[in-house]
Amino acid sequence: MSTSAGASGYSLQSRLMLVFSLMLFLFLGLTGVVLDRAFRTSIEAGAADRLQVQIYLLLANVEEQDGEFYFLQDLQEPLFNQLNSGLYGYISSVSFGELWRSDSARTFTPPDTAFLREAVPVGDTHFEVMPGQDDTFFRLSYGILWEDGIREYSFTVIEDAAPYYSEISNFRRSLWSWLGGAAVLLLAMQLLLLRWGLSPLIRMAADLIRIERGERDKLAGSYPQELQGVATNLNMLIESERRQQQRYRTTLGDLAHSLKTPLAVISGLLPQLRDSQSPSDAAERSEQLDTINEQLERMSQIVSYQLQRAVQSNAAAALARHVDIATTINKVLGALQKVYAEKAMEVSSEMDESAQFTGDERDLLEVLGNILDNAFKYGKSRIRISVHRLNTTHAAEIKVEDNGFGVPTEKLEFVLQRGARADTLAQGQGIGLAVVSDIIHSYNGEISIEVSDLGGALVRIRLP
């Protein structure tokens, strides 16, 4: 596995930062546009209200005589009396156009004079923004019906919009400055929060690098709930990979040890075949040849089996079958009694014929072959075998006892380790019981070595 930071593509943090940044700028941009438009609308609405007040001031002081308008006193708004003050008043009608203009508008030319003949319904107002060549103006027209109830006029007030837009520009600069500052602050906070939120992933990646370097055996420490399952599965994968590597390293040793018993049978029979010359021994030779063929077939099966075990992650995961334990024991005994015929071992057995093993028959042959071979090898003259079912389940208990020298109490657990042998003088590589223990534990079974009342060793196996 590779956890190099130089992997192609962006890091997860960069991707999230990019997405969050785009969302942040989009949100703040839309917020700024909405606030800017709302403020501009508010300014224009305020300008319209102010112009409406100015029209009411005109109406309060105006008089009309023979179609001409005049004021009895100066207007309350002094800007109407100042030339080019930026506030201009007009009175007009659809028929005659302009009827009156304020002193401030004497030299003022509106960007558009069409409003002087615009028909504004009585009691209604019409507000618009009038863009000029250099400046922009606000205009509000109000339609009235004069006192005689016949004549309709339009009162119009025009105001320079520059002060309003200056205020809008100031607000806009302030708005985008604050939003820009908020964006920078939020991005900084977002980066900190992302680093804090992704810190378990960063820590996991660092731990995996340490595992690659051999500085650690597995992912240690606690992870958030969302990553705990990933960490557990990664640890299982790492452990499985290490077991697989160990299995590759030990397969040749296991294979060699597994072939030991069939080779011993063949080695014991070949001298007998060589020494047997008389025709009366033909039947015995035929039986011995059958035994050799059987052992050669078993050797072929052992080679295939060990190669299969080298790539299996769990022996218990093999295709499960019900194997008769008693039948398998008798098959192994038949071969071993021929190998150790000179020892004339007395074998007694008490076997429940209904006891069965659920798993691969080759596993059971491997286990029983090693256990019984040790009993024949180290026993003096007697072997006792018993097989019982446990309760009403398929679980079974197998006990193999001999009357040999046994195993010292302090070495009962030691001999189950790979390469460990209580007898350093006897021929062997010391991995038989370790192979047996490995197979049994792969089926969640149990194996223990005790002292038999016969004086030798008692091997107790419990299979689920």
Residues of the chain with pLDDT under 50: 1-8, 313-319, 419-430
73: exposed, middle or buried (Cβ count in 10 Å: 0-12, 13-18, 19+): exposed
The two counts, helices (H) then strands (E), for the chain are: 8, 14
The residue type found at 301 is: Q
Q: Output the pTM of the full model.
A: 0.47
β pairing state of 321-324 and 152-160: unpaired
DSSP string over 102-143: -GGGTT---S--GGGG--PPBT-EEEEEEE-SS-EEEEEEEE
Q: How many CB atoms lie within 10 A of CB 403?
A: 21
Which of 99, 57, 108, 109 shows the shortest CA–CA distance to 78?
A: 57
Cβ atoms of 360 and 319 within 8 Å: the answer is yes
Q: Which two tokens stand for residue 445?
A: 């079974």
What is the pLDDT at residue 330? 92
Distance from C-alpha of 116 to C-alpha of 123, rounded to nearest angstrom: 17
What is the pLDDT at residue 79? 87
Which of 221, 216, 210, 209 shows the shortest CA–CA distance to 239?
A: 216
Homologous superfamily of domain range 242-463: Histidine kinase-like ATPase, C-terminal domain (3.30.565.10)
Crossing angle between the packed helical segments 260-275 and 325-339, to the nearest 10 degrees? 50
Percent of the chain with pLDDT over 70: 79
In the three-class reduction of DSSP (H, G, I as helix; E, B as strand; rest coil), residue 119 is classed as coil
In the chain, where the domains are located: 9-216, 242-463
What is the pLDDT at residue 209? 85
In the three-class reduction of DSSP (H, G, I as helix; E, B as strand; rest coil), residue 135 is classed as coil
Distance from C-alpha of 182 to C-alpha of 178, rounded to nearest angstrom: 6
The residue type found at 229 is: G
Distance of CA 120 to the CA centre of its chain: 69
What is the pLDDT at residue 30? 92
Q: Which two tokens stand for residue 366?
A: 């491997």
Q: Which two tokens stand for residue 407?
A: 């195993």
Cβ atoms of 283 and 326 within 8 Å: the answer is no
In the three-class reduction of DSSP (H, G, I as helix; E, B as strand; rest coil), residue 92 is classed as strand
Q: How many CB atoms lie within 10 A of CB 187?
A: 15
Which of 99, 97, 52, 100 shows the shortest CA–CA distance to 77?
A: 52
What is the pLDDT at residue 75? 73
